[in-house]
Structure 1
Amino acid sequence: MIPEVIKQFVYSLHNHKISGFSSVPGGSINNAFRYYAGKEEFFLKFNQEVEGIIEKEVDGLKAISKLNCISTPKVIAFQKVESYELLVLPFIKEGIKTSRAWEAFGEQLAEMHSVPVPYYGWHQNNFIGSLPQSNEQTDNFPSFFINQRLRPQIQLAHQNTYFSSKQLNLFDVLFQKLPEILPDTKPSLVHGDLWSGNFMIDEVGIPYLIDPSIHYNYRESDLAFTYLFGGFDSKFYEAYNQHFPLEAGFAERIPLYNIYPLLVHLNIFGTGYLGSVMNNLYQYVR
């Protein structure tokens, strides 16, 4: 159900020319609906549970859009109404993921990653899923990866009693090894939560990024995320690598970067992800 205060805002936004709402999948965090205003179709999402999460999403969509490398849905309206945050976007009808669409997606993501940025982090903290994500500005990638990504999630998992003392010590061993594992890096604007549910191809083959967890990071972390749950065509990777070649040894570093999202899933969904976290960790330390 849509709260009445949200309905009233949306009706006013479109001069009351609305024909019905229908529920659509919006993930596990937000409520999501589609509706018509005249002949145009829109997407509405709202949240009451995680304060600031939609505001940070809007910040991310606008940051990607400003680079003019890859499309994002236009923000029609963002509003705080009583205890709710709501976002209105155009409703994007999904099309067929053709080879050319995958190639365009790879090229455009590579273009976004190739834009120089000044540091690792972001101008504010935001979210990864429903969890807070720290983005303190950092010049050194290993330091950023350890202190702004892994440590907060490890500490939360420790509070939840997911790790033994021996397992916690293995993370300290990993931290010591990171300078020799990681290549020389430069930061890029990254989506930050790049699984197959967070991009779309529209009816004419245009790729869109949605639901960003935006920040400046080493670009390999974005690419590694695409391997976590799969769903990305080989044409995507070929086009990306042709446009902005990856550093040697990237494939061996994929499990390293994905320790972070696996820790996030552990802390959100529970011990079903503990084995995956440890399997990735064991590839670098014993």
Structure 2
Amino acid sequence: MSHENVLTDRLREAGYVAQHVERAVGGVIAVAGLVTLEDGSQLFAKTLLDHAHDHDLDVFEVESAGLAALRELAGVHTPDVLLATQRLLVLEKMEPRTDDEAFWERLAHTVAALHTTTADRFGWHRDGWLGRLRQDNTWEQDGHVFFAERRLLRWLAEPLVDAEFDRQERRALERLCAALPELIPAQPPCLNHGDLWQENILATSEGEPVLIDPAVHYGWPESELSMLWCATRPPVSERFFAVYREIAGLDDGWEERMAILHLRELLSVIAHDDDQDGGAAHGVRAVIKPFLRRSGTSGATEAAGGTPE
């Protein structure tokens, strides 16, 4: 049975009779698509595949709660959730965005406002998902500890990451994490969408930015920005960063920090077996290179301006 037929059957079980499904691209855990119903109306739906052990997952419950948090806590436009079960998520249809300067400027205002929603610690009241793997959101007072342990080092236990990097490379990542307080300035915990790349940005019928597929938590604002900065995006999106900086402010050197903060996404790509061209692994190695120990020298102390061991 095709993936589209699986989605159609599960929609029928839930009371939605689909006439046509236009499958969406992207995603690593669900089959999703724009659904045209027999009355001509449209909605967006996705379902988990059987091999994902969908009966054990709360992916759609977490996603639904994340969309509500973005909307209720920060006023972000998100699609209305029409149905959320263990196997099926049905959402209000949104529109493709227009990639012009006006849209990316509006998005900068949206994200800057999102980041004004703050907390007194990092994390979230429940764990979430990044793709098909758990996102550890355990509360932590120290942002550097949170990012090191919950966003970087947690990937080392994943089989594909473990297979990709040798012992020296793993130790280099650990040294980078130990040096984070010297590499990343302290930032307050603010509400993060958590997976803010261009495929998760749509629009309302009026052209206002809409955010989908969140991995919500309280984290560093710069870690959020790294997803947009480092991932493929249209050239006009430079307007986003100019406007965000005007509104929210960014500490000097923020561009140089983006690659370090993007490590979480690169490690996730490898863990999900989605690095067919090796680009993510190459990116990780480029960032951790200064922390590799060579001839008895500690790269961490050199990168931080210290004395070699």
Corresponding residue for 1:20?
Answer: 19
Encode CA deviations 1:128-167: one digit per residue, 9 max, x unaligned: 1221111100010011011111111022257742221111
Question: Aligned to 2:179, what secondary structure does the other structure show?
Answer: helix
Offset at residue 284 of structure 1 (A)? 6.0
Corresponding residue for 1:30?
Answer: 30
TM-score normalised by structure 1 residue count: 0.89
1:224 partner amino acid: S
RMSD: 2.1
Structure 2 distance, partners of 1:6, 1:36, is 10
Structure 1 distance, partners of 2:131, 2:70, is 18
Corresponding residue for 2:83?
Answer: 77
Corresponding residue for 1:274?
Answer: 281
Check if 1:247 corresponds to 2:251.
Answer: yes
1:70 partner amino acid: V
Encode CA deviations 1:71-111: one digit per residue, 9 max, x unaligned: 0111111123xxxx211111112242332211111011101
Check if 1:64 corresponds to 2:70.
Answer: yes
- Residues 193/19 of structure 1: CA separation in 2 closer, same or farther (3 Å cut): closer
Offset at residue 195 of structure 1 (A)? 1.0
Offset at residue 21 of structure 1 (A)? 2.8
Corresponding residue for 2:154?
Answer: 152
Matches within 5 A, 1:85-124: 85-124=87-126
Alignment size in residue pairs? 276
- Give the counterpart of 1:8 among 13, 18, 40: 13
* 8 Å Cα contact 1:19-1:38 kept in structure 2: no
* 8 Å Cα contact 1:221-1:257 kept in structure 2: yes
2:286 partner amino acid: N
* 8 Å Cα contact 1:97-1:205 kept in structure 2: no
Question: Aligned to 1:161, what secondary structure does the other structure show?
Answer: helix
Corresponding residue for 1:179?
Answer: 181
Corresponding residue for 2:127?
Answer: 125
Gaps of 5+ in 1: 12-17
* 8 Å Cα contact 2:108-2:243 kept in structure 1: yes
Structure 1 distance, partners of 2:260, 2:196, is 16
Question: Aligned to 1:278, what secondary structure does the other structure show?
Answer: helix
1:124 partner amino acid: R
- Residues 256/159 of structure 1: CA separation in 2 closer, same or farther (3 Å cut): closer
Question: Aligned to 2:14, what secondary structure does the other structure show?
Answer: helix
Offset at residue 263 of structure 1 (A)? 0.6
- Give the counterpart of 1:139 among 129, 138, 141: 141
- Give the counterpart of 1:224 among 217, 223, 226: 226
* 8 Å Cα contact 2:74-2:113 kept in structure 1: no
Offset at residue 23 of structure 1 (A)? 2.9
Encode CA deviations 1:251-281: one digit per residue, 9 max, x unaligned: 1111111111101111112572322111122
Structure 1 distance, partners of 2:178, 2:253, is 19
TM-score normalised by structure 2 residue count: 0.83
Report % sequence identity: 25
Offset at residue 235 of structure 1 (A)? 1.5
Structure 1 distance, partners of 2:288, 2:75, is 34
Encode CA deviations 1:6-33: one digit per residue, 9 max, x unaligned: 413133xxxxxx5613132152321123
Structure 2 distance, partners of 1:209, 1:178, is 29
Gaps of 5+ in 2: 293-298, 300-309
Check if 1:263 corresponds to 2:267.
Answer: yes
1:23 partner amino acid: E
Offset at residue 179 of structure 1 (A)? 1.2
* 8 Å Cα contact 2:173-2:291 kept in structure 1: no
Structure 2 distance, partners of 1:159, 1:228, is 20
Corresponding residue for 2:200?
Answer: 198
Corresponding residue for 2:44?
Answer: 43
* 8 Å Cα contact 2:155-2:161 kept in structure 1: no
Structure 1 distance, partners of 2:10, 2:157, is 39
2:48 partner amino acid: N
Offset at residue 122 of structure 1 (A)? 0.7
Encode CA deviations 1:57-77: one digit per residue, 9 max, x unaligned: 111111101124320111111
